[in-house]
Structure 1
């Protein structure tokens, strides 16, 4: 199964090359942002896109039957061009932008620096100018703290600084590395998960573990080892019976799984290898998510190729964890195994859930969704936003209740874009973190209650989960449509809203039932899972 990791990644190399300007006489030679250099529909290149040099460099160095990119001289040229464009397109302080000019995005700077550092090493390049660029970007990362709690970024920055230190032969970032690791340790919940905005996201959790595993190989410590082992033990519970991973019941709605760290960890902690084996079984059955869009296709490509390179030959027998019931009160996630049925339930997201029988997904449910007319506006009220819902957790019964929230559906308009550009070209360029914090509040965090109240009850009876949903409103007159979907999300997260085959389950359209309700009469939906 090892080769499946490599083949999944190599299938994306033609797309990555299509995204790159490969004309050596072009002023944007090496740029991977096709919207900028080819379509000319944006006014700056995304610095994150230069991360794509790494999967190309790894493809160049992957000796696998059928890999037509192995040791191709032109591919090596294009990787070097990509690194040089990362340097030439950066700001004077070494930072780069991602979604708007003068953003100075930590994530984009760190992902692309890691890619450039490792590609430079892999191709055995020798260029003092590029080394100066690496140092400048590392300096910026060492001194810049972004808004929001994204543990994966902190682990990634610590790894970048460690690798840059070794390449450049300096220890000037030693304190910064330790400070980032202290943040990571402080943001790891006692339950094992790492904070991502408003809670536990098992997908980004695997990226954090991958960075920490690499750091542990470079600078081992008992504290780091303990944090990793605790994180791996938790990860095992989130691998679904069909080999899929994550989804809409998690804090950032992602199906992310980064396998590279589990091969490193598996050298000294074999349970990590069983996790990757379960994921490989899922990939073989088409249960992985699609991340082949223009902005995020690189992340998983390099992680898969690294997992192939670091694959541990001697592996323990595949043994999924004994489940029973796992209740994570801090994450407010319940994983409940009953005979051949396994339930993943998010009580911090209104009771959004997935339920499996044997190795088959029976149902994915992301709670009520309403289309509501308010004057001239049409808004979306949903039950899956992160919030402080009331819940009761019994031995054979779970109840969660609260109010729906207004979905975050803010779109860009020509006027909004003009305003954002004017702000960033004037005062915003000096306070990019403030702008980022405002956009996070607008698009990601927080919940504004909507005037609809729900109660969800799951009861285990006769070997099945019985589900009863109740929705109340003072008036149904302004409600245009009601449904329950398998995959709805309502916040802005780059890596969410990707396709996974579980999303083929149909929506449950409840609009006809609502139209028959009298004012004040509740909508009641009962199902047997």
Structure 2
């Protein structure tokens, strides 16, 4: 049964998640899911996000589907409770937790792990006073803490956490905070339907926001919430590719994320939502889902897939595809152009990064020019896929993007950098964690430093196909060590990006031989027919 693909993909991750957990009742870190902390001892604090993994275990315990060896296994109940108690023990005194560095007090980690603990606690029928005190303490912290950056999925997630905690503890003390978070969500939803994620539209995190809002709608249905979900569903339908894959490098945060649960919930009153999952399941059946089997991020999709299996709507309408033609999301600066049997997904705010399909097959994935440049005795990477307000022209049969390449964000940690960060966090950052977060966001995620290379990318529809002409200019080609056009390059720090997806098996287009033949001031020109 197609529905079982969700469960099969999720249950395959449970042995890994159990391997990540300290399952020794006599261990001081019993219940901890951060193996780098409790087993390898290569970090000096546990990531609070890891405790989210209790939810996949609780759902595996409750999922009665063919071939599930974890169904109703009593040991899982013990390990889930241990995970919740460790989340409480490892939290700061104010209820917050860290994710990537000490005293970070990360909203995302706090909210994801609280949601998981709340849902698991109730699903397993637990009765634990330590857990209940912890839920209230963390909810209090989330209600009063506002993080830097516009991440709509976090605001929806926090609103859901506060709602669920209030119901469990039978209190309405977070009612004002819930409304404030939802007001942020509504204000950060663009009229085009997408929810703001840092610098623009990321369809992957968009599906997570829909998941949280659809669950909230079950608990507190309002017309405004229903309208926001409906607009979000309509937008998401455009980003399921013809082969059943979803998202990618042409979006603001470069993710292939797809969280299906919200579409099953919304599908109970908006049948179009079910078609989105059906199209994605067709891709999942062909092995086109992205791999999220990473020690830090394996939990998100695992619990969401199991929820989608649990709440799968059995009475489904015929799969509905978006109408052919052009979708121009002018404010997101994403263009989707379908004509004849071809479909082009184009990120104009990312220098013209694109995916091109013919029929049900990916023909070309392109993440713009990438050059390895020697500058000041160091090798630096100049790329064309960073978010920037490029000059664009969008006509019926011609699309053009102009701008400069930018220096890729490739900052790595060194022993000295780590020591400095630890000292800063211990002395100053523990009191101003949001300031540190804001500075790191600027260094690793937002903003662009231009590189001395000017590009233009032109798409022309001629004789029934797209022709792409790329041109790159600079005064000094001698500094360029190598260059090409990649299929999956990204250069900002996003936890859920740079995962493997099968479309990334396409070859790199090596332009180094052409570059070495260029004279000073002579442009590099690349012409292709898609």
Match of 1:294 in 2: 295
Match of 2:87 in 1: 86
**Secondary structure at the residue paired with 1:120?**
helix
Which whole-Å CA distance do the structure 1 matches of 2:62 and 2:315 have between them? 23
Match of 2:173 in 1: 172
**Secondary structure at the residue paired with 2:455?**
strand
Matched, 1:244 2:245: yes
Match of 2:423 in 1: 422
Which whole-Å CA distance do the structure 2 matches of 1:396 and 1:129 have between them? 64
Deviations 1:289-325 (A, max 9, x none): 0000000000000000000000000000012111310
**Secondary structure at the residue paired with 1:247?**
coil
Trace 1:422-501 onto structure 2 (pairs within 5 A): 422-501=423-502
Match of 1:219 in 2: 220
Q: Does the Cα contact within 8 Å between 2:85 and 2:130 map onto a contact in 1?
A: no
Q: How many residues align?
A: 529
In the TM superposition, what is the alpha-carbon distance from 1:129 to its structure 2 partner?
Answer: 1.9
Match of 1:195 in 2: 196
Match of 1:106 in 2: 107
In the TM superposition, what is the alpha-carbon distance from 1:66 to its structure 2 partner?
Answer: 1.1
Matched, 1:157 2:183: no
Q: Which moved more, 1:314-323 or 1:112-121?
A: 314-323
**Secondary structure at the residue paired with 2:447?**
coil
In the TM superposition, what is the alpha-carbon distance from 1:287 to its structure 2 partner?
Answer: 0.6
**Secondary structure at the residue paired with 2:430?**
helix
Q: Which moved more, 1:64-73 or 1:12-21?
A: 64-73
Matched, 1:314 2:311: no
Q: Does the Cα contact within 8 Å between 1:380 and 1:407 map onto a contact in 2?
A: yes
In the TM superposition, what is the alpha-carbon distance from 1:127 to its structure 2 partner?
Answer: 1.4
Which whole-Å CA distance do the structure 1 matches of 2:85 and 2:104 have between them? 21
Q: Does the Cα contact within 8 Å between 1:237 and 1:323 map onto a contact in 2?
A: no
Which whole-Å CA distance do the structure 2 matches of 1:127 and 1:517 have between them? 71
Deviations 1:473-516 (A, max 9, x none): 01101100110000000000000000000000000000000000
User: Unpaired runs of 5+ in structure 1?
Assistant: none
Give the alignment's Cα RMSD to 1 decimal.
0.4
Q: Does the Cα contact within 8 Å between 1:403 and 1:451 map onto a contact in 2?
A: yes
In the TM superposition, what is the alpha-carbon distance from 1:75 to its structure 2 partner?
Answer: 1.1
Match of 2:38 in 1: 37
Matched, 1:395 2:396: yes
In the TM superposition, what is the alpha-carbon distance from 1:239 to its structure 2 partner?
Answer: 0.4
**Secondary structure at the residue paired with 1:209?**
helix
**Secondary structure at the residue paired with 2:51?**
helix
Q: Does the Cα contact within 8 Å between 1:192 and 1:234 map onto a contact in 2?
A: yes
TM-score, length-scaled by structure 1? 1.00
Which whole-Å CA distance do the structure 1 matches of 2:9 and 2:413 have between them? 34
**Secondary structure at the residue paired with 2:71?**
coil
**Secondary structure at the residue paired with 2:130?**
helix
In the TM superposition, what is the alpha-carbon distance from 1:408 to its structure 2 partner?
Answer: 0.3
In the TM superposition, what is the alpha-carbon distance from 1:169 to its structure 2 partner?
Answer: 0.2
Which whole-Å CA distance do the structure 2 matches of 1:295 and 1:221 have between them? 35
TM-score, length-scaled by structure 2? 1.00
Q: Does the Cα contact within 8 Å between 1:159 and 1:214 map onto a contact in 2?
A: yes
In the TM superposition, what is the alpha-carbon distance from 1:67 to its structure 2 partner?
Answer: 0.6
Q: Does the Cα contact within 8 Å between 1:476 and 1:519 map onto a contact in 2?
A: yes
Match of 1:518 in 2: 519
Deviations 1:87-137 (A, max 9, x none): 000000000000000000000000000000000000001112210100000
Which whole-Å CA distance do the structure 2 matches of 1:323 and 1:201 have between them? 22
Match of 2:357 in 1: 356
Which whole-Å CA distance do the structure 1 matches of 2:324 and 2:37 have between them? 49
Match of 1:256 in 2: 257
**Secondary structure at the residue paired with 2:478?**
coil
Deviations 1:162-197 (A, max 9, x none): 000000000000000000000000000000000000
Which whole-Å CA distance do the structure 2 matches of 1:323 and 1:163 have between them? 41
In the TM superposition, what is the alpha-carbon distance from 1:65 to its structure 2 partner?
Answer: 1.7
